[in-house]
Structure 1
């Protein structure tokens, strides 16, 4: 959920975020509440509809997300050390091919 919130161009509603990560609105609401309780996101009035709120990441939320991404990248890099240079090149080629074929 934090990934969906951080990687949006503008704050989104809980329902929109739920759709983005494939969960129903009640589950999305609980996830957002957990993130809000941890100080990682905040609810703000929707600028286009004052009756709704949208969710945006706080500075702490962005920092937590970035730290998570960095930690995962380090884990992947460490695991890749088990591969030869040729195997890493082949893996990169195959991952690029997979990414190109990934549905939008």
Structure 2
């Protein structure tokens, strides 16, 4: 990409990424769920960030590594005290529990409870239904292409921004 000229397709991707970010900031999915009466959890008093923590913890657990609060903070992009408060709220709500690290007794690991896994399954199901509805007029080939390209973009974007 020599000089200052930005290819049109790169500018289009940037605009789409910004639009998705703004949609997230507006809590568009949560508001849609509320409008449709589809509360995905029984924990309406908890901030969205608790469910983001739950998502991060469940993803790490799915890869065989329950994170500590400090590791979860890094994955969320928040400081350790904020992650600690979110973890305390999630533990109090019964979504996570703290397990002793068998290799280092000073560390505690965050692990989803069955209720936490159930809540996350409902949240993911809702998100999938919204995506299916949003792409209902698309061909299967277009959905497959988007899934592959978006997954590749997220992986490469993360590698670029984290330097890995």
TM-score (normalised: structure 2):
0.56
Residue 93 of structure 2 corresponds to 38
The structure carrying a bigger strand percent of its residues is: 1
Distance 1:11 1:48 in 2: 12
Structure ranking higher on relative contact order (CA contacts 8 Å, 6+ apart) = 1
Superposition pairs of residues 16-95 of structure 1, within 5 angstroms: 16-81=71-136, 83-85=137-139, 89-90=141-142, 92-95=144-147
Partner of 2:58: 6
Distance, in Å, in 1 between the alignment partners of 2:124 and 2:83 is 22
Instruction: Give the paired residue count.
Output: 101
CA RMSD of aligned residues (A): 1.7
User: Structure 2, unaligned stretches of length 5 or more?
Assistant: 1-52, 160-164
Change in CA separation of 1:98 and 1:49 when aligned onto 2, cut-off 3 Å: same
Matched, 1:100 2:155: no
Using the alignment, how far apart are the partners of 1:97 and 1:6 within structure 2?
Answer: 24
1:98 to partner: Cα distance: 3.2
| SS of corresponding position for 2:128 | helix
Cα pair distance change 1:94/1:76, threshold 3 Å: closer
Q: What does the per-residue CA deviation read over 1:14-47, in whole Å, with 9 as the maximum and x for residues that have no partner?
A: 0001111111101110111111111000011111
* Shift in Å, 1:56: 0.4
Mapped partners of 1:24, 1:59: distance in 2? 27
Deviation beyond 2 Å, 4+ runs, structure 1: 88-92, 101-104
Q: Which runs of 5+ in 1 are unaligned?
A: none
